[in-house]
Amino acid sequence: MTRKKNKKTRAQKKEKRKISKHTFYVAGVSDKLLFGIVGILTLIGVLMISSAGIVYADVRFDDPYFFFKRQLIGVVLGFISMFILSQVDYHLYRKWSFVIFGVAAFLLMLVLIPGVGSGAYGANRWLGIGQISFQPSEVMKIALILYVAAWCAGKGEEIITNAKDGLLSFLSIVGFACILVLLQPDVGTTAMLVFIAVGIYFLAGGRLVHIFAIGAGGLVALIALIAAAPYRMARFTAFINPESDLQGSGYQVQQALIAIGSGGLLGLGLGHSKQKGLYLPEPVGDSIFAIIAEELGMIGTVSIIILFILFAWRGMRIAKTAPDVFGSLVAGGITIWIVGQAIMNIAAITALMPLTGIPLPFISYGGTSVMFTLASVGILLNISAQAKK
């Protein structure tokens, strides 16, 4: 018996070394197509930020390439993070998921302290360390994915489908994270966190009746939040009737639609946008899809949508072939996050839903956003490296 046990142990160690070697060999390219998709999207982002922000950066910072240079730093750090995390066995996150979630929650609490957190337009969303600033809400996205995935994998489908032990516990976890983000205030990111968590809950076997109940409750809460803040109500009114306030709440959407319409099939050409000349607010942020449409035309925007569809396919394929439930849920959660955020951004800027301020993954300006998004792809690549053959 002891001899058999020793043989089994040696075989397990050998297999572990085999997996570890394979993981290192495929660093960053364990799924070559996924890596290529992310690389193309990120490259498009850097090029478009260089083009879209040139006028705005020159006027605001007296440096036409201010946004480009800062985004390039975020991209470099993001790819370094992707490489490092592609080498880290994703199983470790299950053990440390609660600690990671706690750290993210603590950072969100720091944002709320006057003099510690910083922001603009009445919202505190950043923490600064010297010349470096970042958004803790981006940390919470990854933290929530890891913790909810670990929680679901640990509880099992039998408990998850139970209203008292499963649903209420799940809601308490998600509610805690959402309250901290909502206090900033940031309704768009709050909605994104709920979307991600419910997506993981569904993949873990959550009952549809519970998911519909969460959706109904979320809709009621969203209506209350819109009614409670005049600027949110103005955005909603602009969505219902875009021409009601063309110089106010409806201005950004109208300018975005002008940019999209001006691009036509082939676009005006890279660098030839007219709307970026201080007409369209946030041309490098949540409005960048409109600049892409204007300069690269419908061919450019459709290409980006196809790239996100391919990302969704590869991400869900990794989730399907992951060696365990935890890996499957983490891969599914990351895919839901990135693709869902892309859908929200594109829908908002094309007037299919109210403006949310949600950035377009890999493309919109934001060092924290691009760095943590690329880092999450590193986790996906590690899961892919250990996928079932």
In 3D space, the residue among 319, 322, 350 whose CA is nearest the CA of residue 332 turns out to be 319
Please indicate whether residue 203 or residue 223 has the higher confidence score (pLDDT).
203
Residue 248 included in any domain: yes
Q: What pLDDT sits at residue 161?
A: 83
Instruction: State pLDDT tens for residues 47-95.
Output: 999 999 898 898 888 899 999 999 999 999 999 999 999 999 999 999 9
Q: Domain limits at 45?
A: 33-385
Q: What pLDDT sits at residue 186?
A: 87
Q: Kindly indicate the confidence band of residue 21, based on its pLDDT and cuts at 50, 70 and 90.
A: very low
Residue 170 included in any domain: yes
Residue 17 included in any domain: no
Query: Contact, 94 vs 151, CB < 8 A?
Result: no
In 3D space, the residue among 344, 375, 337 whose CA is nearest the CA of residue 144 turns out to be 337
Residue 150 included in any domain: yes
- Three-state DSSP class for residue 289: helix
pTM above 0.85, yes or no: yes
Residue 11 included in any domain: no
pLDDT for residue 7 is more than 80: no
- Average pLDDT taken over every residue of the chain: 86
Which of 184-198, 221-235, 256-270 shows the lowest per-residue confidence on average (mean pLDDT)?
221-235
- DSSP H helices, the chain, are 2-25, 32-52, 54-61, 66-87, 91-111, 136-155, 157-160, 168-182, 187-203, 208-228, 230-240, 251-263, 288-321, 325-349, 367-385
pLDDT for residue 3 is more than 90: no
Q: What pLDDT sits at residue 153?
A: 94
In 3D space, the residue among 148, 194, 203 whose CA is nearest the CA of residue 320 turns out to be 203
Instruction: State pLDDT tens for residues 26-46.
Output: 333 468 999 999 999 999 999
Query: Contact, 319 vs 328, CB < 8 A?
Result: yes
Q: Which amino acid is at 207?
A: R
Domains held by the chain: number: 1
Residue 110 included in any domain: yes
pLDDT for residue 13 is more than 60: no
Instruction: State pLDDT tens for residues 151-174.
Output: 999 998 888 888 888 899 999 999
Residue 277 included in any domain: yes
pLDDT for residue 258 is more than 70: yes
